[in-house]
Chain A
């Protein structure tokens, strides 16, 4: 005769136990997070990104919208109009930002300069193009080699200078487009490695006395040249602090205010600063926090630096072309005389 089967645990208890096991497994699965990497494994720039309020000597007065997908070059004409290039477009705005003219082409200008006589010069894929009349046809100068990458132009009464990051050289042309001289690069007889240009951050500008300054990004400073290509002076300032330039490609852009006050923009630490004529640190125009406000890719390590170009207008206002925000940030000094001292 069969003995009646003895149940050790009732069925419902088995069900509860099974549910508990499933719950524990799920809990362990979804909460299995290892601790965040400790400070030794973290790259932290916050100490350098923080700027003491008292050192900010400028206020943002205006944002001029720029109707371009990817603005990349900015210049100011002698009569105060703003010239912006980007996409395959050239925009001319009045000082308040009203659009005066819009030209669209098949080619893509990367950088721009405006001469006192109104001629606009464009840095394009294979060289320089001159635009004697804003509405006229561009005149393309002798094409450069494939490696060339023009990142900045500067023009005075006699010459047009073009910074070629691809060949780490600056080309000097006369105003008709005849190539006169090369500073640095393979054809510089004195020093082919004059400029160290690891990335396409290679800017040039005239100071308020009309003297040419060229950024030497690998040396984290700027160099002053005579028109015959000889070096007049150099100023290098490596360092992460406010008085210096960090990384390998800074200052990314330069411009000059009256009194030879130097304005710089950096990549990596997105800040705008000024230096007095003796190159002592004068103050901060905009801290990283201000430059990065509203920029959705600020935390993306792959995103290019937001400020794409820099200029100073006839009223000594600093104009920073913000690519992602598609606008020109206009800064005015709170106490203009201070940085001249």
Chain B
């Protein structure tokens, strides 16, 4: 087995459509300072900093700020020279892949304490230009020139997902209600009305009626079905288990790590009947007979997500995720993709992602869930942070924000950091953090558990 790796500290900035008050490097400093000074480390934070022997800088686009080699600026600004470092980029999964690279640095023995820093500042260009920069992370020979952009790719996938499985716009809208309203109790969240950087018109509580009547972006997706674009940073401190125990009483062990990939263009996804079984992607709790006749992955499912989940579950000994995992933070780029991801992660059968969201008690008249951070299947909480729809999507920081949120959930520190205990999952023992790129081109899954 060798050494285990733990996450011991984390920090993040206030997320906002625009953080013009600070430069990128100043934002990363803000998150790193929080990671070192606010996570109850047992020795002096600056002595901890001296022990850091590796860093990862994770950011997606060189276009957003017209600055290449941004990682060098970040490391320098935070006083992290001359130790080893690498820049990691993998679209929307940049944060998750950055954490994986940090994990591997420790696992290989090349480092024992690694600071993983994710960041993005998307506000220096217009929203339409920003969408274009993101669209350039699709195939620029064939998909982008015909007018392609990410909401449209996901929307076309959602159309097929609805067609295959009978998923409804109402089920999709419920995801937005859950995540956006959760975010009202997370002080860091872009849509939290109390966030000093929040834009009034795009913050506060919403109902299912607000989602369904919001402006059409790409059918069936509407404005409130879509993730945010954000400025911000998130930082995680990973440690070899023995160092972790010297530095904290509550190390969160990374029990399983998984990563999967798929084609860049959705147009090239296989449509094999029984493909899930043929590609050995069945999870332990699933029966082959459920999926023998199902086309897979087609344009309705994320094969990379399933592959990543299967790998992480195997490493962590998860045989039934719905029973063994208490809290999930997943990449809700769109409401449709949250439902699709329930299925990839094995929290619901393929085709039953809509049923899973319907399992949480909902007040049809008011158009909101009866509780904030509702339990799905009377068991599991998904995206208490608010996810990408409610909290943020500052691309390189996203996967790290979500994994740090899982760490704070397991440590019982949600009130301390988010400013409210409403989103604290009581007695959470094991969590899952999912990070996802493109239309599912790269996905990572981390299973994280209490190490105390």
Same complex origin of A and B: no
B residues near A, CB below 8 A?
none
